[in-house]
Amino acid sequence: MSDRAFVLFAHPCQESYSAALHTTVTDTLSARGWDIDDCDLNAEGFNPVLSEAERRGYHDEATNTAPVQSYVDRLQAATALIMVFPVWNFGYPAILKGFLDRVFLPGVSFKLVDGKVKPNLTHIRKLAAITTYGGTRTRALLAGDPPRHCVKRAVWHVCRPDKMRYLALYDMNRATDAKRAGFLSKVSQEMQAF
């Protein structure tokens, strides 16, 4: 079975540095023969808002996936999950947070067993996040670096992958062309070995 990557991209501007990172990921994996399901959340018009009805039906595994079934199907078909996003206000962009709220449902990403979360995306053997921070690593650490912890703890927990990478370019607000080019090269190298 070939590797199938579900690439979640969360930036609204196609000329952005995040878009260049996204292209590097998809181009590198495609050149290696990977099957890519490229999910540009903004281009697809994904609605990140968990509705009242969805919240009320959240724990009903028989019906909770209906509003987002196509995304659930895509996630369940993947052997790798790669998230490409900028960090804004020490968190995920709203569209990515909304994806996790609406698609990482009971019965999809986890099972509740005696009140404990048990991983349910164990077919995902590789997990990566590629991101940028406007501020320094120290500033992110002082704020608790929520995106890093969410990926490396919460998303990791429901997948339990064999391989996990969190690649971050910090201090983007002052990054030189050389620093940005160097990070693009690092991402390409990481995806070559992913």
pLDDT tens-digit series, residues 18-77: 999 999 999 999 999 999 999 999 999 999 999 999 999 999 999 999 999 999 999 999
Q: How many residues does the chain have?
A: 194
Angle at 77 between CA 65 and CA 19, to 5 degrees: 95
Q: Count of alpha carbons within 13 Å of 171, Cβ hemisphere only?
A: 8
pLDDT tens-digit series, residues 132-157: 999 999 999 999 999 999 999 999 99
Entry pTM: 0.95
How far is residue 116's CA from residue 15's CA, in Å, rounded to a whole number?
A: 42
How far CA 148 is from CA of 27, 52, 68, 125, 166, in Å, comes to: 24, 29, 26, 19, 7
CATH topology of domain 4-192: Rossmann fold (3.40.50)
How far is residue 71's CA from residue 45's CA, in Å, rounded to a whole number?
A: 12
Domain ranges in the chain are 4-192
pLDDT tens-digit series, residues 82-135: 999 999 999 999 999 999 999 999 999 999 899 899 999 999 999 999 999 999
